[in-house]
Structure 1
């Protein structure tokens, strides 16, 4: 998807800064800020990171002992 790009002069940006920030976020657009007709800055919307369930628990489990080896205790279920 192509992001919409608009230009605005520094004076207009200064006067309408908060509303322009909201517009950039709402419309997912880029805003080029100019001084005397020359681009000096670019304002872009920060995309939210997509959260993936795959791998979200990586490195959160600590194995304290050998969980595969048997234990020496006799269980009632074994009888």
Structure 2
């Protein structure tokens, strides 16, 4: 991970963007020594179906989740 000042990034932005794109290098941009921005390669997130595929079929509902539970808490 590289660290670079805003002023240096401004003068060499295209070069640093190519570095991130080609090598996947992350760059931390600083302002007066304080980190302010992280530049990294964009990654597509997998679809929700794929994210929860391992859980499919492992969760069981025993009743309707939208049914009020006034019996347990009492009527107000």
TM-score of the superposed pair, with normalisation by structure 1: 0.53
Q: How many residues in Structure 1 have an aligned counterpart in Structure 2?
A: 46
By how many angstroms is 1:48 displaced?
Answer: 5.3
Q: Provide, for residues 32-71 of structure 1, a one-character-per-residue CA deviation record: whole Å limited to 9, x for no partner.
A: 0001000010100113568xxxxxxxxxxxxxxxxxxxxx
Quick check: which has more Rg, 1 or 2? 1
Correspondence 1:49-64 to 2 at 5 A: none
Find out whether 1:33 has 2:46 as its counterpart.
no
RMSD, aligned CA: 1.5
By how many angstroms is 1:29 displaced?
Answer: 1.4
Q: Which has the higher helix share?
A: 2
Structure 2 unaligned spans of 5+? 47-76
Please identify runs of 4+ aligned residues in structure 1 that moved more than 6 A. none
